[in-house]
Amino acid sequence: MMVQLTPLWTDWLIYALCVIIAVYIGYTRSKPHLLAPWRKVVRNPTAVASSVILLVFATIGLLDSIHFREALPQADNSGKTVYSAEIISAFDRLAKPLRDHVEKTYSAPLAVNLFAMESVEQADGRVARLFPRLKYAGGHLGKDIDQSTQDQWRLFTKGAISGALLWVLLGFMLNAALATHAKVRFSQMAQRLWRGQTELPWRTLLFTIGIVLWFGSIVWQLAPNYHLFGTDKVGLDVLYLTLKSIRTGLVIGILTTLVMLPFALLFGIMAGYFKGWIDDVIQYIYTVLNSIPSVLLIAAAVLMLQVYMDLNKDAFNSVVERADVRLLFLCLILGVTSWTGLCRLLRAETLKLREFDYVQAAHALGASHWKIMTRHIVPNVMHIVLITITLEFSSLVLAEAVLAYVGVGVDPSMHSWGNMINSARLELAREPMVWWPLAAAFVFMFVLVLAANLFADAVRDAFDPRVQ
Amino acid sequence: MIGYVLRRLLYAIPILIGVNILIFTLFFAVNTPDNMARIHLGLKRVTPDAIAKWKHEHGYDKPLLFNAQAKGAGKITETIFFGKSVPMFAFQFGAADDGRDIGHDIKTRMMPSLALAAPVFLVGLLLYITFALTLAFFRATYVDYAGVVLCVAMMSISGLFYIIGGQFLISKLLHLVPISGYQYGTDAFKFLVLPVAIGVIGGMGGSSRWYRTIFLEEMNRDYVRTARAKGLPERIVLFRHVLKNAMIPILTGVVVVIPTLFMGSLVSESFFGIPGLGSYTIDAIRSQDFAIVHAMVFLGSVLYILGLLLTDISYTWVDPRVRLS
């Protein structure tokens, strides 16, 4: 199928981030002293388990960052391809059944009927108040809709068994590979693996992947035929919404630190290295920024953007692009409010480092200030940068929800956990209550933030010289 | 000491000017006074006369930052920036864009904010320190391990979850306290109990874990070993020696927030319908009231700078080695 790639602004930044990570990996591989802390991270079972979860989220987020427009079926035979005006992502393409199965309004998880009663005209002309059938959920059952529970159990069992089988197969393959590598018998290796006596925490890895596979394949079986987490007010599948929100969360968590990093590094190191009036100016700037309550600063900036967008409506071709610019701007402004902490840490560390013998030596040998800063100081503060990035990530993901509530978060048209939680306030007040969009958003957010917190802890333990 | 405090207060002035310039440029970078007038007068069918009148009444009929037509010092003083910012330094907040007196609003709304934030702060501090000390006492056992796991899990839950979940469970299912609202006087208790409890629980994970790290760091010091070597029971070591010394790093993070308690909490105030400064700010953000946002930013900055000053002073109080000069 012909597609036209239309990367958004945040997409470009995500690609850039991937390149940076690839370069970092390539650079680190050949440097034993840089590799050592990472070796410590991969030996930590919690870190391994949480990084598997993070990878799953990252994969979905990455797939959701490849945006394109599909070619429309040709109306005439002119040979010109016409592209749809709608921008979708590779993830949308994969989750097509979820995306297309739009019901009328709320429906509970795994339900086959709408959540609200409606007046429906019967075949004999009478009007009855009942819960109408959903258009898509259980549609494959046709008339046997009363068997939906059995059907769901069947699909569940199918998913559970296939997931378990896949997992066993994977375990066998891993064990075989490890046995060959360690030159021991298969059974011996299996015993070691089971008891967790391997050098790297393979057992944890295997179990985490097992859980992911198991849940994944159950969802895989159920999701196309039913609304696993129900539907929201306009009938969208809640599972689809939560999965789409992953990208928003990741973008806010990662790109914010990416945009603030250059400023924090440059200002922090310059303040610590040059001291004097440069230090005074930089300290002045970050005290000013710090003393403004951050929510208010973000609010003022977002309001400004809102006005700008209202005045320049023509600059944006589609809702998606508009929402994307707002997301990017939010990352920028969050970066502005959060760089001060890192800047202060870097300044303090540089103040200490600049008095060290090797810096003095470099100075005596005639190295320029720029050279000393980039070659001698930056590599020695990188651990602070890395620890801060990982620690900051989870708080940013959580902050997104609060900002959405205050009304200065991502665009209301963009799928995000914050927007889901925000709209849930009215849903909870309904009688009977609509709880599933809220629950889904909270659970996904919790899993991502927990994994990020655990991973950040492992990274800090491995990189912080004070802990060692 | 007094000299130091005075110098610090003088140093606050350029910072506050910076804050004012920043918030002012942010707000007026794309927004014009004409726009604001239109928003407040209603978007449709506004006569130029009405706009001019609104601008004149609210002090927006001057140039933004620099008045080229005025003479002498008037080039600076005859501007919106000067007119809106300078009275702030005397805590004259003026009128909101819809005409209410901001200073009066702040005065009446400060108490409810404080009634919510101060108990959260005090109860929280006590609880977190106790919990962290318990974990430190049982360090490297399953109690400690379970406690840390609990802390990390609690940190990972969104603050909104505690609020929504608490409101649902306590108010809606169990009907123990009203869902939201506020009354002045002693009746405030039943409205405040739930927000306070939720505020305390919400901050528990992060703070307890941080305090635990501080305590553990302190327990590796030589004086702790000496105290143990001379036969002091662990209880005394913890409470008399470790706690006192750990107060120094704890104070850095804690004292700075005390003045900002007046500002209230944005989210929980508006969830629980408490008429404090937090919900005031949210309403102002939503209705794009520049005067209120400006006043709150200014107040927040002043209180933050005050907090920094208090932190420095409190150092001399807990650590006799520190002298301010």
pLDDT of residue A467: 62
CA distance B229 to chain A (A): 25
- Do residue B69 and residue B138 come from a single domain? no
A246, A183: one domain: no
- The total of structural domains in chain A comes to 3
More confident residue, B251 or A63: A63
Q: Tens digit of pLDDT for each residue in A231-272? A: 888 878 888 889 989 999 999 988 888 888 888 899 999 998
Stretch B13-29: mean pLDDT, rounded? 83
Residue A77 lies in a domain: yes
Q: Is residue A119 part of a domain?
A: no
Q: Is residue B98 part of a domain?
A: no
Of A66-80, A291-305, B14-28, B138-152, the range with the lowest mean pLDDT is A66-80
Mean pLDDT along residues B228-253 = 86
Confidence of residue B43 (pLDDT cuts 50, 70, 90): low
Nearest CA in chain B to A455: B152
Residues A208-214, mean pLDDT to the nearest whole number: 90
Give me the DSSP letters along B135-173: HHHTTTSHHHHHHHHHHHHHHHS-HHHHHHHHIIIIIII
CB within 8 Å of A140: residues ≥ 6 apart: A225
- Indicate if B275 and B174 belong to the same structural domain: yes
Q: Given this model, what pLDDT does residue A133 score?
A: 74
Does pLDDT of A77 surpass 80?
no
What average pLDDT score do residues A444-454 get? Answer: 92
Do both B141 and B209 map to the same domain?
Answer: yes
Is A294 near chain B, with CB under 8 Å? no
| B202 belongs to a structural domain | yes
Give the 3-state secondary structure of residue A91: helix
pLDDT of A78 higher than 70: no
Residues 6+ apart with CB under 8 A from A139: A225
Interface confidence (ipTM) of the complex: 0.84
Residue-wise pLDDT tens digits, A348-407 = 889 888 888 998 899 899 889 899 988 888 888 888 888 888 888 888 998 888 888 887
Residues in chain A: 468
CA distance B250 to chain A (A): 17
Contact A450 B156 (CB under 8 A): yes
Which amino acid makes up residue B262?
F
A196 part of contact set with chain B, CB < 8 Å: no
Name the DSSP class of A145. G
Q: Which residue out of B23, B30, B168, B180 would a mutagenesis test of the A interface target, given it has the greatest number of A Cβ atoms within 10 Å?
A: B30
Same domain, A359 and A445: yes
**Same-domain status, B151 and B228:** yes
Read off φ and ψ for residue A109, nearest 5 degrees. Answer: -55, 135
**Rounded distance between C-alpha atoms, residue A127 and residue A17, angstroms:** 59
- Residues in chain B with CB shorter than 8 Å from the CB of A341 are none
d(CA B194, CA A41): 41
Choosing among B158, B180, B267, B309, which should be mutated to test the A contact, i.e. which has the most A CBs within 10 A? B158
- Tens-digit pLDDT profile for residues B88-126: 776 777 777 777 788 888 888 888 888 888 999 999 999
Q: Is the pLDDT of residue A155 over 70?
A: yes
**Residue where a domain stops, chosen among A187, A222, A257:** A222
pLDDT at A228: 81
| Residue B55, domain extent | 2-90
Is there a domain that residue A351 lies in?
yes
Nearest Cβ partner of A445 from B26, B158, B285?
B158
Q: What angle do CA B60, B104, B310 make, to 5 degrees?
A: 100
> Measuring CA to CA, which residue among A168, A153, A171 is closest to residue A221?
A153
- A287 with A157, same domain: the answer is no
| CA–CA separation, A390 and B151 (whole Å) | 18
pLDDT at site A414: 86
Residue A7 included in any domain: yes
Q: Residue B47: how many CB atoms within 10 A of its CB? A: 9
Domain stops at, among B45, B65, B90: B90
Contact A406, B266 (CB under 8 A): yes
Of A409-413, B64-68, B217-221, minimum mean pLDDT range:
B64-68
Do A70 and A153 lie in a common domain? no
Q: Do A283 and A158 belong to one domain?
A: no
- Domain membership flag for residue B168: yes
Is there a single domain that holds both residue B170 and residue B205? yes
Q: How far is CA B183 from CA B116, B179, B233, B261, B282, in A?
A: 12, 13, 49, 20, 20
Spell out which residues of chain A touch residue B291, defining contact as CB-CB under 8 Å: none
Identify any residues that bridge with A118 across adjacent strands, giving them in sequence order: A130
Q: Is B95 helix (H, G, I), strand (E, B) or coil?
A: strand
Whether residue B117 is contained in a domain is answered as: yes
Are residue B68 and residue B9 in the same domain, yes or no?
yes
Residue A442 lies in a domain: yes
B110, two tokens: 């400060």
In this structure, the answer to whether residues B54 and B121 fall within a common structural domain is no
Residues spanned by the domain of A7: 3-98
Set of chain B residues whose Cβ sits within 8 Å of the Cβ of A311: 30
* Within-domain flag for B323: no
- What is the per-residue pLDDT for A337? 84
Residue B293 and residue A402: Cβ atoms within 8 Å?
no
Structural domains of chain B, count: 2
Q: Give the contacts of A174 (CB within 8 A, at least 6 positions apart).
A: A193, A202, A206
Say which DSSP state A132 is in: P
Among A291, A425, A453, beta carbon nearest to B15? A291
Task: Give pLDDT tens digits for A37-56.
Answer: 888 888 888 899 999 999 99
Q: Which of B156, B168, B252, B289 to mutate to test the interface with A (most CBs of A within 10 A)?
A: B156
* Final residue of a structural domain among A222, A256, A271: A222
Q: Strand pairing partners for A231?
A: A107, A237
Write a three-state SS string for A234-267: CCCEHHHHHHHHHHHHHHHHHHHHHHHHHHHHHH
Asked whether residue B99 is domain-assigned, the answer is no
Same domain, yes or no, for A213 and A252?
A: no
- Smallest Cα distance from A462 to chain B, Å: 16
Domain match, A218 and A247 both: no
